[in-house]
Structure 1
Amino acid sequence: MTGYIAMNRFKVALGQEREFEDVWKNRDSSLSAVPGFVEFRLLRGKSFAEEGYTLFSSHTLWASEEDFLNWTKSENFRQAHKNAGDHRSLYVGPPQFEGFRVVEGA
């Protein structure tokens, strides 16, 4: 199996989880129309009360790293992220990007 996984980790302020989820559910990313896009998942992790956040991750699977990079340079990408700065109050710090080439998978 080949492919590329692009992930962003978000520390979402406690009490803001539903609003964060709604922002993602209601945005028009047009990912399904992007060449090389395979699937998207928004993942909700553990809450860290002492640090004031719940961990989330966006997870996209691409046919190749090149497809992902092409998307980041596209108008679709700009449109999908045009309002990202409007929701800074939801976060505890900036998102952290992680990219992985698939080595093995089913």
Structure 2
Amino acid sequence: MYIVMNELHVPAERKSDLNARFEKAADNMANVPGCIEFMFLSNVDESKKQVVYTKWASKQDYENWLSSDAFGRAHGNKKTTDQKPAATGNELHAYEVVHSYPNK
């Protein structure tokens, strides 16, 4: 398995905007080949961080998603004169699963 966590740096006043955008993503990820799990996490202690957590059957499945048309549509340029990106930055973290419970 392969885990990817994208830590988004989001001003407190924009958190609800980002929550709304990712609400739609949760349903869409159910149809992505190799995506085992998707979670959008909001840090309760640090108001400026939210995390997109995805679990993949393999690194290749994740890479396939990155190069897919669906990814392009989901991450396309949505900027308009009245809509700025909610996140001011991000840090991407990827991990190979070595041990897990339950073992699947």
Query: What TM-score do you get using the length of structure 1 for normalisation?
Result: 0.79
1:91 matched to 2:87: yes
Counterpart of 1:44?
A: 42
Distance 1:39 1:28 in 2: 9
Listed one character per residue, the Cα deviations across residues 62-85 of structure 1 (whole Å, up to 9, x for unaligned) are 000011011111111111111455
1:102 aligns with 2:97: yes
Maintained 8 Å contact 1:13/1:91: yes
Instruction: Give the TM-score normalised by structure 2.
Output: 0.81
The answer to whether structure 1 residue 82 and structure 2 residue 76 are counterparts is: yes
Stretches of structure 1 that go unaligned for 5 or more consecutive residues are: 48-52
Structure 2: state its 5+ residue gaps: none
Aligned-residue Cα RMSD (Å) equals 2.0
- How many Å apart are 1:29 and its aligned residue? 6.7
After TM superposition, list the pairs within 5 Å mapping 1:5-16 onto structure 2: 5-16=3-14
Letter in 2 for 1:20: L
Flag the structure with higher strand content. 1
- 1:51-90 aligned at under 5 Å gives the runs 53-83=47-77, 85=79, 86-88=83-85, 90=86
4+ long deviations beyond 6 Å = none
Query: Percent same amino acid at aligned positions?
Result: 26
